Structure 1
Amino acid sequence: MMKKKKHKLLKYCCVAIGVIVVGILIAEGVSSFRRGKVDTSKGIKIIKQAEKGNVTAIENKIEKLEEKDQTQKKADERENEDTDKNYKAIFANSVIMGDSISEAFTEYDILNASSVIAKIGVELDELDDQVAKVEKLNPQVIFLSYGMNDIIATRGDTKEFVKQYDALLEELNKKLPDTKLFVNSIFPVQQQEIEREPVYEKLADYNEALRELCDKRQIAYIDNTDLVSDSYYEEDGVHFKADFYPYWLNHMAEVAAL
């Protein structure tokens, strides 16, 4: 009888322990399930955000590469087009007057000598010989490109610069009344040249004064400010390499409808 009671009690204890264990497992399972649900939601959100960020970044990179490719294609097309142009023929009835920057047109054999009247270091108050030469040539179009040396000569005095440039325009109008005049802006210089000649910090003021003079006289002003990039400059930060000149000629020809 005692053995049966002991066996029965042991059986109840085992059942009770089993119920407790199952309860614990169920509770842990529910808790884990709940925790897992929250973690999964957050994880999915993070993953989606990461995927979205990666896709956006990739799309931006692809877009930039496509833009770069298109820019390069246009540059190549323009370069090929420039190579095929006969600038000596296009500017046969034109003359470019200027300083050493303009003189490079003949040094690089891009234009005929009859289309360029230029001299190294020349200033606006030293142009008697150049004016006499251009009068004899009597071109249909004159492109003027002065100012780089005059910024130093006038030491930042834009009024004196405008006075001298205005006198040149007046003289050309009198001697060549049927010739159309175009005035090039002064090209920017690199920082190293500004450090060497601080007066070049006023270069933009000179160009603005020159633009106002052209507006007053109703003469076409050719803005070259954005035409150049660092790769075109010689080591001195002022003069240009040969491959720059076709771009400048294209710009002048476009404005003058040559």
Structure 2
Amino acid sequence: MGSYGMNGCTEVIWLKDNKDIKNKISNMTENARKPGNRLAAVISAVVILLFLVFIFQLVRPNLNGRHSEKEMEGNISAAAALQKASVVDVEHAVDQLDSAANGGSLSDDRKTRYQQLFRNCTVTGDSLTEGLSVYGWLSEEQVYSKIGASVLNSSDLFDKAAATEPKAAFFAFGMNDMGNYSGDSTAFIKKYSSLIKAFRKKSPDSKILVCSISTPSQDAINSNSSIGNYKKFNKALERMCNKEGYIFVNDTAILQDHPELYAGDGIHASPEYYPLWMDEMAKAAQL
């Protein structure tokens, strides 16, 4: 099987160059967000659409030159993988198309999609959480955070978030608390749990999701030994969630797998970190 050329031969058109495919996927994922749609039906519709468009492109006359057999197999594999995709996975595929179409930049359309995906949701946490609104991924009405936030000084953030009665409430504390509590995860969990319970009394119908402490870099740990307790604190967070019936969002692998996304301090993160984090949150909450 060689490469495909002109004069009646066919080619696989690169997905990132096809605005029509991008628009169709965007429309389908937008439809997936509408109330009343059943997830399975939406995913099936997306998969069917992708394969219809893909097959059409496969047999389309070659007008743009040649692609190698390896390139064709890569496109076929990408399309086949979408058979197992969730709505969030399809959202991520659209984001990749969007980024490619904008020269790798983070477009406003992409950010708007996340704001819609997280509509009627809140994220409450420390300065890493603050990046969600600072970088425009979520609106200020969806994010409750402040620099230096800790469970010791953030009861006001819990109260403000509870007042909105969100369908899903995400909490992301612990980075500052490891030092504030001198490594005492038991005392940290006791305070954190009391804040969440108070939140639930004010917003009883909210789904509660607790995010893990993100993984600090080794250089950051070398500079501040207290944050080296992140694994112990995360285990304590997971136990709390199991005991209280909360959903634990384990996002520790993101920065481990993508060290290029660390900010200079090895604790905070670049803008490109946030869609990966939001994807994990959305999957956990089944948004």
Q: Is the 8 A contact 1:151 1:200 kept in 2?
A: yes
Q: Is the 8 A contact 2:149 2:176 kept in 1?
A: yes
The AA in structure 2 aligned to 1:161 is F
In structure 2, the residue matched to 1:46 is none
1:81 is displaced (CA, Å) by: 5.6
1:147 is displaced (CA, Å) by: 0.4
2:227 corresponds to which of 193, 200, 222: 200
- Cα offsets for 1:177-217 (capped at 9, x unmatched): 11111000000100111111112222100000110011000
Alignment of 1:1-258 (within 5 A): 77=93, 79-80=95-96, 85=110, 86-228=113-255, 229-258=258-287
Q: Is the 8 A contact 2:133 2:139 kept in 1?
A: yes
1:133 is displaced (CA, Å) by: 1.1
The AA in structure 2 aligned to 1:238 is I
> Structure 1: where are the runs of 5+ without partners?
1-64
1:172 is displaced (CA, Å) by: 1.1
Which 4+ stretches in 1 moved above 4 angstroms? 73-79, 81-85
Query: TM-score, length-normalised on structure 2?
Result: 0.62
Structural RMSD (CA)? 2.3
The AA in structure 1 aligned to 2:274 is Y
Q: Is the 8 A contact 1:106 1:112 kept in 2?
A: yes
1:82 is displaced (CA, Å) by: 7.3
1:112 is displaced (CA, Å) by: 0.9
Change (3 A) 1:81 1:171: farther
Larger Rg belongs to: 1
User: What is the rounded CA distance, in whole Å, between the counterparts of 1:90 and 1:160 in structure 2?
Assistant: 34
User: What is the rounded CA distance, in whole Å, between the counterparts of 1:100 and 1:117 in structure 2?
Assistant: 10
1:110 is displaced (CA, Å) by: 1.0
User: What is the rounded CA distance, in whole Å, between the counterparts of 2:98 and 2:154 in structure 1?
Assistant: 32
1:251 is displaced (CA, Å) by: 1.0
The AA in structure 1 aligned to 2:262 is Y
Q: Is the 8 A contact 1:151 1:203 kept in 2?
A: yes
Give the number of aligned pairs. Answer: 190
> Structure 2: where are the runs of 5+ without partners?
1-69, 82-88, 100-108
* Partner SS state of residue 177, structure 1: coil
The AA in structure 2 aligned to 1:232 is L
User: What is the rounded CA distance, in whole Å, between the counterparts of 2:164 and 2:200 in structure 1?
Assistant: 15
The AA in structure 1 aligned to 2:219 is Q
The AA in structure 2 aligned to 1:237 is G
Identity of paired residues, percent? 30
Query: TM-score, length-normalised on structure 1?
Result: 0.68
User: What is the rounded CA distance, in whole Å, between the counterparts of 2:96 and 2:228 in structure 1?
Assistant: 36
More helix by share: 1
- Cα offsets for 1:194-250 (capped at 9, x unmatched): 111112222100000110011000111011111222111001000000011011111
